[in-house]
């Protein structure tokens, strides 16, 4: 048996499973559920929005897409189709090597965007990094005998074609030394990328471990006050993507620690929608018992009250409290 056919047997299970992981994404979003409908619950575009707070290198691109809804829709449809095609052709073993390169790119995008997510074990980081390594193994092995590529290789012209070997399967047109060098270089790159992203996303190599998808966190910015309103922006940048932060109290304290303004749980659950200006696809909204801030939601809030007209100049502290008891603070100097 030829060595590249033997390698195809060794990597057969990997090729089938990696292929299914991509094809199943297409299957879930189009057949099992309607996840490509922007108006339906579970729209995949919201998942892309969830990636935003701690994505590596591609935050700007993600924010551009989630602030342009029509472009985001085209993007997620295209990405889903690509996943379906790549997954199916890997399973069939057709154009195996070029599909493995596509699988590598897809896994790399997942790693950069969602590598920080996973409340128990950095799920998305593992999916991304293992998807990349799996794609490399499939690239070197090719499809082997149990692949449609093997049928195409029965053509003498294709069997002799170096281009077909790079695109599909068969013996790579490299010397033994070339293959060794190529594989070692890729191994070094993947080890560096693995350790680097593991450290960046979770502190998993040295120092203190951290996981940004366990507890909700809200950033407060752009505070300003006028005669009838307290205006500020909130951004939910940490915590699980499966449920929101439930804001039950917003209070303002003066420099001596005296509370000068408060919006309680009931008032927040009835906050007028015109006082909430959402900036991204995922939206801050009044819930049944609180103001709900899903992961990666960013909104400018305008809290109206006559109290603000009579406040003296000085330093104030804005405090936002979650139903869990967690609170977040930001200071503001009223001039």
- Listed by start position, the domains of the chain span 3-202, 217-334
pLDDT attached to residue 243:
86
Mean per-residue pLDDT, 158-179: 95
Contacts of 245 (CB under 8 A, 6+ apart): 216, 217, 218, 236, 239, 292, 293, 294, 322
The CB-side HSE value for 6 (13 A sphere, CA atoms) comes to: 3
Mean pLDDT of 263-282: 97
| Alpha-carbon dihedral angle through residues 249, 250, 252, 257, given to the nearest 10 degrees | 30
- pLDDT reading at 3 higher than 90: no
pLDDT score recorded for residue 66: 97
Q: How many CB atoms lie within 10 A of CB 198?
A: 17
Tally Cβ neighbours within 10 Å of residue 71: 12
> Is the model's pLDDT at 46 over the cut of 90?
yes
Task: Decide if pLDDT at 1 tops 80.
Answer: no
How much is the pLDDT for 318? 98
Tell me the C-alpha distance between 98 and 104, whole Å.
Answer: 10
Chain centroid to CA 31: how far?
22
Q: Give the range among 9-18, 32-41, 86-95, 119-128 with minimum mean pLDDT.
A: 119-128
Question: Exposed e or buried b for every residue in 133-170, given b needs 16+ CB within 10 A?
Answer: bbbbbbbbbbbbbebbbbebbeeeebeebeebbbbbbb
Q: What is the mean pLDDT of the chain?
A: 96
- What average pLDDT does the segment 292-314 reach? 97
Q: How far is CA 268 from CA 234, 244, 290, 320, in A?
A: 14, 15, 6, 11
pLDDT at residue 122, as a whole number: 86
Judged by phi (left if over 0) then psi (alpha if -120 to 50, else beta), residue 144 lies in left
Strands (E), the chain: 217-225, 229-238, 245-253, 259-263, 276-278, 285-286, 291-293, 298-304, 314-322, 327-334
Please compute the mean of the pLDDT values over residues 260-271 and round it to a whole number: 98
Q: Which fold would CATH assign to domain 217-334?
A: Immunoglobulin-like (2.60.40)
**pLDDT on residue 167:** 97
| Residues 67 and 74: beta-carbon distance below 8 Å | no
In this prediction, residue 145 carries a pLDDT of 94
Confidence band of 120 (pLDDT split at 50, 70, 90): confident
pLDDT at 121: 81
What average pLDDT does range 247-268 have in this prediction?
98
Whether the predicted pLDDT of 272 surpasses 80: yes
Q: How does residue 119 score in pLDDT terms, banded at 50, 70 and 90?
A: confident
Q: What is the mean pLDDT of residues 143-159?
A: 96
What's the pTM value of the predicted model, to 2 decimals?
A: 0.94
Sign of CA dihedral 109, 112, 113, 117: positive
Mean pLDDT of 285-290: 96
**4, pLDDT greater than 90:** no
DSSP state of 42: T
Residues 6 or more apart whose CB falls under 8 angstroms from that of 297 comprise 235, 236, 244, 278, 280, 282, 283, 284
Average pLDDT score over residue span 287-300: 97
């Amino acid at each position: 048996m030829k060595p590249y056919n033997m390698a195809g047997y060794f990597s057969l299970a990997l090729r089938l499973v990696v292929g299914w992981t991509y094809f199943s994404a297409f299957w879930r979003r189009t057949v099992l559920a309607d996840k490509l409908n922007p108006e339906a619950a579970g729209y995949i575009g919201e998942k892309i929005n969830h990636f935003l707070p701690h994505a590596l290198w591609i935050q700007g691109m993600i924010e551009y897409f989630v602030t342009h809804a029509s472009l985001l829709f085209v993007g997620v449809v295209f990405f889903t189709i690509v996943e379906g095609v790549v997954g199916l052709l890997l399973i069939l073993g057709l154009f195996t090597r070029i599909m493995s390169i596509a699988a590598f790119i897809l896994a790399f995008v997942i790693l950069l965007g969602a590598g920080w997510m996973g409340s128990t074990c950095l799920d998305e980081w593992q999916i991304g990094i293992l998807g990349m390594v799996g794609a490399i193994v499939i690239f070197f092995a090719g499809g082997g005998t149990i692949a449609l590529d093997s049928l195409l290789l029965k053509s003498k012209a294709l069997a002799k074609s170096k281009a077909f070997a790079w695109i599909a399967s068969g013996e790579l047109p490299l010397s033994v030394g070339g293959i060794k060098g190529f594989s070692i270089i890729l191994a070094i790159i993947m080890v560096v990328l693995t350790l680097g992203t593991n450290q960046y996303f979770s502190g998993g190599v040295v120092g203190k471990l951290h996981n940004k998808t366990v507890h909700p966190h809200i950033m407060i910015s752009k505070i300003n006050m006028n005669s009838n309103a307290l205006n500020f922006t909130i951004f939910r940048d940490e915590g699980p993507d499966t449920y929101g932060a439930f804001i039950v109290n917003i209070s303002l304290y003066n420099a001596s620690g005296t509370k000068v303004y408060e919006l309680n749980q009931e008032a927040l659950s009835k906050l007028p929608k015109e006082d909430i200006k959402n900036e991204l696809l995922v939206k801050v909204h009044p819930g049944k018992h609180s103001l709900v801030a899903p992961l990666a939601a960013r909104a400018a809030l305008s809290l109206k009250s006559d109290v603000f007209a009579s406040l003296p100049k000085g330093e104030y502290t804005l405090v936002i409290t979650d139903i869990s008891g967690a609170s977040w603070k930001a200071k503001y100097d009223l001039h």
